Amino acid sequence: MGEVIPFAKRPAGRKPVSSLCREGHHKWRVDKAKQFDVKQGKLVTVYLCERCGEKKTTAH
């Protein structure tokens, strides 16, 4: 038998990015922890992608 070579492990704390997210098809959900932006002085909605963790904000 030949020598068994172990697979390389992924770096800790980093999620693999979905191929859908790379193409721009994120799975957005509303992040209710931050609803007010102090710098703008406005209510904002923060969206967080469930797959890759990217953030998007919209002001009201």
Query: Is 34 part of any domain?
Result: yes
Q: Could you give the CA distance from residue 30 to residue 46 in angstroms, rounded to a whole number?
A: 6
23 in a structural domain:
no
pTM as predicted: 0.60
47 three-state secondary structure = strand
Number of structural domains the chain divides into: 1
pLDDT for residue 11 is more than 80: no
User: b/e map of 3-12 (b: 16 or more CB within 10 Å)?
Assistant: eeeeeeeeee
User: Would you say residue 32 lies in a domain?
Assistant: yes
Give the bridge partners for 57, in sequence order. Answer: 46
- Give a yes or no: residue 46 inside a domain: yes
Any domain includes 8 = no
In a domain, 12, yes or no: no
Residues 15-35: tens digit of each pLDDT: 666 788 888 899 999 988 877
If one compares 27 and 42, the residue with the highest pLDDT of the two is: 27
Identify the domain containing residue 48 by its residue range: 28-59
